[in-house]
């Protein structure tokens, strides 16, 4: 089933505005640490690439060239760079959003990890090979990148130096893993995987090993983890309350609380700036269509 998402900003006072262009599909946003801009993946005019959204001026610009497929961007913790997945202009990436949301990914799709310096606009390739390298994110000090990849035979967590000077190392010993994100102290990586028939938020040491499910994520299907920059709390989207909503998941084991997105039946892929400005995506404009529960992105 096809479904279309748009990107929205939730201000610190709870006001919500659409910030992605009217034409095309835009999703999986990441807000910069200051709350001034966001990056997202988007599909408009036949080009599947990265876009920067100015949250104050409501201006959008494409960051990657039309011949290059680029997806799943994430800001560095200081806002100076973004890390993302791309086919590097080889033509081996997904051609449409429908191709990208197919699971498992089609064998012909090849994506590796790239880093873009936002001051210069220059990108450099970090990983290589005929793999699906998905969902990269930076460590807080910017020295490492964690990502999901099938380079070991199944989609698991891998880590690589941000300068790309050595080969990736697998972090995960069992199961599969998606959407990894470092804790704000850099010692832990959070992600989601299947535990007892449900998708749950888990933690794993940043050096690798066995993963542990978070005890307070005990209901529903949970995805899209993001570590808040100023407190020991995560954001996730989950079906725990019905539908798909954004939740705050405290790391001290306290009960999760739902983030108010009034008027939105579906909301996900939330990230939050130090200013408490939040971005997320939604299918609000297509209310009769819901994303599949097995969306692992």
Q: What is the CATH number of the domain that holds 252?
A: 2.120.10.30
By C-alpha distance, which of 227, 201, 204 is closest to 214? Answer: 201
Q: Would residue 290 count as lying in a domain? A: no
Q: Single out the residue of 32, 54, 8 nearest to residue 261, CA to CA.
A: 8
Residue 43's pLDDT is 86
Q: What is the CA radius of gyration of the chain?
A: 17
Q: What is the pLDDT of residue 288?
A: 41
The confidence score (pLDDT) of residue 102 equals 76
**Nearest alpha carbon to residue 49 among 33, 72, 77:** 72
What is the pLDDT at residue 286? 43
**177 lies in which domain range?**
6-282
Q: Residue 147 CB: number of other CB atoms within 10 A?
A: 30
Burial class (CB in 10 A: 0-12, 13-18, 19+), 213: middle
Residue 189 belongs to some domain of the structure: yes
Answer for the pair 250, 238: CB distance below 8 angstroms, yes or no. no
Domain annotation covers residue 83: yes
Domain presence at residue 55? yes
The average pLDDT across 160-180 equals: 96
Count of Cβ atoms closer than 10 Å to residue 263 Cβ: 9
Q: Give the model's pLDDT for residue 41.
A: 95
Going by their DSSP bridges, the two strands 198-205 and 212-213 should be labelled as antiparallel
Q: What is the pLDDT of residues 48-90, one digit of tens each?
A: 899 999 998 878 999 999 889 999 999 999 999 999 999 998 9
The number of distinct structural domains making up the chain is 1
Closest CA to 256 of 284, 222, 280, 289: 222
Distance in angstroms (rounded) separating the CA atoms of residues 82 and 138: 8
Q: Is residue 223 part of a domain?
A: yes
Is residue 97 classed as helix, strand or coil in its secondary structure?
helix
**How far apart, in whole angstroms, are the C-alpha atoms of residue 97 and residue 206?**
31
Whether residue 277 contacts residue 55, with contact meaning beta carbons closer than 8 Å, is answered with yes
Domain-embedded: residue 296: no
Q: Is residue 289 part of a domain?
A: no
Q: Is the pLDDT of residue 37 over 90?
A: yes
Between residues 66 and 47, the one the model is more confident about? 66
Residue among 47, 34, 44, 39 at smallest CA distance from 19: 39
Q: Tell me, yes or no, whether 291 lies in a domain.
A: no
Per the prediction, the chain carries an average pLDDT of 91
What are 96-144's pLDDT values in tens digits?
777 777 777 788 889 999 999 999 999 999 999 999 999 999 999 999 9
């Amino acid at each position: 089933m096809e479904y279309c998402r748009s990107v929205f900003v939730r201000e610190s006072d709870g006001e919500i505005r659409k910030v992605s262009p009217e034409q095309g599909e835009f999703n999986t946003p990441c807000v910069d640490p200051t709350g001034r801009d966001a990056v997202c993946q988007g599909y408009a005019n036949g080009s599947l690439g990265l876009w920067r959204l100015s949250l104050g001026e409501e201006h959008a610009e494409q960051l990657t060239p039309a011949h290059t497929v680029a997806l799943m961007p994430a800001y560095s913790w200081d806002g100076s760079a973004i890390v993302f997945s791309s086919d590097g202009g080889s033509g081996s990436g997904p051609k449409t959003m429908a191709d990208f949301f197919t699971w498992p990914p089609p064998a012909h799709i090849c994506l590796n990890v790239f880093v873009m310096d936002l001051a210069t606009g220059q990108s450099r390739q970090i990983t290589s090979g005929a793999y699906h390298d998905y969902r990269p994110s930076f460590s807080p000090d910017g020295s490492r990148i964690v990502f999901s990849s099938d380079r070991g035979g199944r989609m698991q967590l891998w880590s690589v130096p941000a300068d790309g000077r050595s080969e990736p190392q697998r972090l995960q010993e069992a199961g599969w893993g998606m959407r990894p994100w470092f804790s704000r102290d850099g010692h832990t990586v959070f992600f989601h995987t299947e535990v007892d028939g449900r998708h749950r938020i888990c933690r794993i040491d940043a050096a690798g090993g066995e993963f542990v499910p978070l005890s307070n994520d005990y209901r529903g299907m949970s995805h899209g983890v993001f570590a808040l920059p100023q407190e020991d709390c995560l954001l996730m989207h989950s079906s725990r309350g019905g539908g798909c909503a954004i939740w705050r998941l405290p790391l001290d084991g306290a009960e999760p609380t739902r983030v108010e997105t009034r008027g939105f039946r579906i909301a996900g892929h939330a990230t939050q700036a130090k200013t408490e400005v939040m971005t997320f995506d939604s299918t609000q404009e297509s209310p009769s269509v819901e994303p599949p529960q097995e969306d692992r992105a």
